[in-house]
Amino acid sequence: MLTETAGSGRVEAEERRKVRRSWLLSAPALTVLFMAASGPLLIVLVYSFLEPAEYGGVVWKFSDEAWFKVVFQRDIFDGTLSFADAHLMILWRSVRIAFLTTLTTLAFGFPTAYFIATRPASDRNIWLFLITIPFWTNLLIRTFAILEVIRNEGIINTGLKLAGIIDQPIQMLYSDFAIMVGMTYVYLPLMVLPLYASMERLDFRLVEAAYDLYASRLAVLRRIIVPLVKPGIVAGSILVFVPALGAYVTPRVLGGGKNMMLGNLIELQFGAGRNWSLGAALSITLLAIVMIVLLFYVRAVQRASEARQ
């Protein structure tokens, strides 16, 4: 008995040494991760509770005024409170455009992924290669490419004029529509790739069996394909919605500065607005929205896993 107890004690001591050794080996990486990721976020969080300095920066005095100004504003004459309509409008525009961009990329990405998944295995890599080509180009260059397509003297308006369909160019640039088109083009691969990953694992014999049982194409899509590729739909939607919500370059170029989104408002506060505290509070607000979306994604994945079990 004593021998067994001593043996188990040595095993436990060895396990503790392995755990300590693992922590010591991972300590440099954890430190870098904390300093590079968590550190800046903590700084932004601290700045959101400080007073803004007169010419940028912060004054090291506690204040919750920045968080107050995210939603409310005071009248400069009588001090009455009202909602910060500009901030709420920009927040709503950001959520709306990001949501519409997600739906648009899903509408284009779903048939694209299905087409690739139904090609012969030897041809799929070529199609995936074509999908990923835009990632080789800088985001700003891709945005300017869309600008050349939809501007008044761009490809679309020039083609419609030559065809005699219109006399005056259609104003598409510097609008919410232009921003949505640009972000759809930019983020479409982020939707196609997760959808393809799910569809590649789809057993198409189920689709053939449904057709053999006289199911319509719509019924096959709604009751077989969509439920089985739902994880890919959710993952692609998250991958598109999150960066679209905080987009800066595309709204800045295609929105012309007057159709701002939340990312542009944050940049304005840290730049010309010189209100770092409000910019930090808006940044944390954006982070909170993203966290809520990610929690939704985790719950959806868990439900899908439980349904498969």
Of 9-23, 89-103, 108-122, the poorest mean pLDDT is in 9-23
pLDDT for 5 equals 58
Q: What is the pLDDT of residues 187-232, one digit of tens each?
A: 999 999 999 999 988 888 888 888 888 888 888 888 888 888 888 8
Contact 82, 75 (CB under 8 A): yes
Residue 109's nearest CA partner among 220, 185, 216 is: 185
pLDDT of 109 over the 80 cut: yes
pLDDT tens digits, 126-166: 998 988 888 888 888 999 999 999 998 889 999 989 888 88
Which of 3-7, 15-19, 108-112 has the least mean pLDDT? 3-7
7-53 pLDDT, tens digit per residue, is 566 767 778 888 888 888 888 887 887 787 788 888 899 999 999 98
114, 222, 223 from 205: Cα distances, Å: 15, 16, 14
In the prediction, which pLDDT does 136 show?
A: 86
- Better-scored residue on pLDDT, 77 or 194: 194
Of the segments 78-92, 164-178, 185-199, which one has the largest average pLDDT value?
A: 185-199
Answer yes or no: CATH 1.10.3720.10 is held by domain 83-308: yes
What Å distances lie between residue 64 and 34, 208, 266, CA to CA? 26, 61, 17
Can you tell me the distance from the alpha carbon of 215 to that of 207, in angstroms, rounded to the nearest whole number? Answer: 9
Determine the pLDDT at residue 10. 72
Contacts of residues 46-55 at CB distance under 8 Å and 24 or more positions apart, as own/partner, are: 47/276, 47/277, 47/280, 48/277, 48/280, 48/281, 48/283, 48/284, 49/277, 50/277, 51/277, 52/274, 52/275, 52/276, 52/277, 52/278, 53/274, 53/276, 54/274, 55/274
End-to-end CA distance of the chain, in Å?
44
- Amino acid 8: pLDDT: 62
- Check residues 253 and 307 and name the one with the higher pLDDT: 253
Give pLDDT, residue 260. 87
Residue 115, pLDDT above cutoff 60? yes
Q: Where are the domains of the chain?
A: 1-39, 83-308
Q: What is the band of 6 on the pLDDT scale with cuts at 50, 70, 90?
A: low
The 10 Å Cβ neighbour count of residue 216 is 10
| Res 266 pLDDT > 60 | yes
pLDDT value, residue 26: 83
pLDDT for 204 equals 82
Question: Is 60 exceeded by the pLDDT of residue 3?
Answer: no
Tens digit of each residue's pLDDT (9 = 90 or more) over 270-304: 988 889 999 999 999 998 988 888 888 777 767 76
